[in-house]
Amino acid sequence: MVVRGGRVLLGRKKTGAIGRGLLNAPGGKCNPGESPLTCAVRETKEELGLVLDPRHLECVAQITFYTGGVPDFFVHVFRTIQANGTPQDTADMEPVWYAIDTLPTGQMHESDCLWFARAANGERFCAGVHYRERAKGFERIEFAPYPSG
């Protein structure tokens, strides 16, 4: 998440099996041997054309997404207030800035209305997000403290 002046940079996803047409922060799967931090830097460059300095990224959330009660995928959510470049429309995403206090949650994944603003504001947490099907049929979210240390 790139945050500036009470706003967060989102992108409307143009590709992918999950979330096409929805707004989200840049991100994706780690390449083999790639750390989550390095992945966040790479994905932000690929999807929005911004260069991030990993020294200025803070992991604010760790979220496990469940499908039908079974862990499906794990997400590290990084936040920064520093990014180099101008957000660009790419093959993957169309960038738009939104006020954190008035996020267009109706254009985001169902669970985002419960956790996204918290992370964008720098709150640190862990969560379990439960869906009936992969990214469909949101059931519930369970918050837990972020690990210290």
Task: Give pLDDT tens digits for 35-66.
Answer: 999 999 999 999 999 999 999 999 999 999 99
Model pLDDT, residue 72: 96
Confidence band for 149, pLDDT divided at 50, 70 and 90:
low
Task: Give pLDDT tens digits for 90-132.
Answer: 999 999 999 999 999 999 999 999 999 999 999 999 999 999 9
Other Cβ atoms closer than 10 A to 122: 12
Q: How far apart are CA 135 and CA 127, in angstroms?
A: 15
Q: How far apart are CA 139 and CA 70, in angstroms?
A: 13
Model pLDDT, residue 148: 83
Q: Can you list the domains of the chain with their CATH numbers?
A: 3-59+77-122 (3.90.79.10)
Model pLDDT, residue 16: 79
Token pair for 28: 């994706």
DSSP secondary structure of 49-101: --B--GGG-EEEEEEEEEETTEEEEEEEEEEBS--BS-----SSEEEEEEEGG
Encoded amino acid at 29, one letter = K
Beta bridge partners of 58: 79
Q: How far apart are CA 93 and CA 112, in angstroms?
A: 18
CA distances from 7 to 22, 96, 115 (A): 18, 10, 16
Distance of CA 113 to the CA centre of its chain: 12
